[in-house]
Amino acid sequence: MAVSRALRRLLHLRNLEEEQARLALEAKVEEVKRLKNLQVATEERERQGRRLVEGSMHRGELAERMAGLVEIGAAQRREALLVPMVEDGEIDIADLRSEFLLRRVDSRQAETLIAEMETREAVEGGRRAQRNLDDWFLSRLLQGETTSRSSDPPEDAPNPFKS
């Protein structure tokens, strides 16, 4: 039995689902990576603010000290926003990864089923071909026997098997 078109369509559908799950996972990973880069930039911004405050203490410049404190406050508020976003993103990544793996298993199962059916068809095709060949040789042998029977000895010749 040939692999049905429905089974091939199922495989195609499973492959599309796997691809969509992979793309969603990759997009979320990139988003979290971008958020982590923002966290690093925010930490650097806070360090720069602290340097401004420290430098202003030595020089006695009030405007620099105020700018440093504003930078530190802005960085801390931004960090407070980014931390839960990164944590949520990592949870989403775990969920998307399990979804992707599930889709991948579905695809591999359909591929395995089709491969087994194709292998079974190939084996059956080989057996069929061998059976046809055997039949052909048998018919050739039988045709040879009927030809040799015509060259059997005449009926009046003594037959040792008849009593």
Instruction: Please spell the DSSP secondary structure of 50-64, one letter per residue.
Output: HHHHHHHHHHT-HHH
Predicted local confidence at residue 58, as pLDDT: 82
Q: What is the residue type of 50? A: R
Predicted local confidence at residue 156, as pLDDT: 56
| C-alpha dist (Å) from residue 102 to 18, 98, 107, 137, 156 | 8, 6, 9, 52, 84
Give the pLDDT confidence of 75-126 residue by residue, as tens digits: 999 999 999 999 999 999 999 999 999 999 999 999 999 999 999 999 999 9
The three-state secondary structure class of 34 is helix
Predicted local confidence at residue 147, as pLDDT: 63
How does the average pLDDT of the chain come out, rounded?
A: 88
Question: What CATH class is the domain 10-146?
Answer: mainly alpha
What pLDDT band is residue 146 in, cutting at 50, 70 and 90?
Answer: low
Going from N- to C-terminal start, the domains of the chain cover 10-146
Predicted local confidence at residue 64, as pLDDT: 87
* Rounded Cα distance, 93 and 87, in Å: 10
Contacts (Cβ under 8 Å, ≥6 apart) of 22 = 100, 103
Percent of the chain with pLDDT over 90: 67
| Percent of residues in the chain assigned helix, strand, coil, to nearest 5 | 90, 0, 10
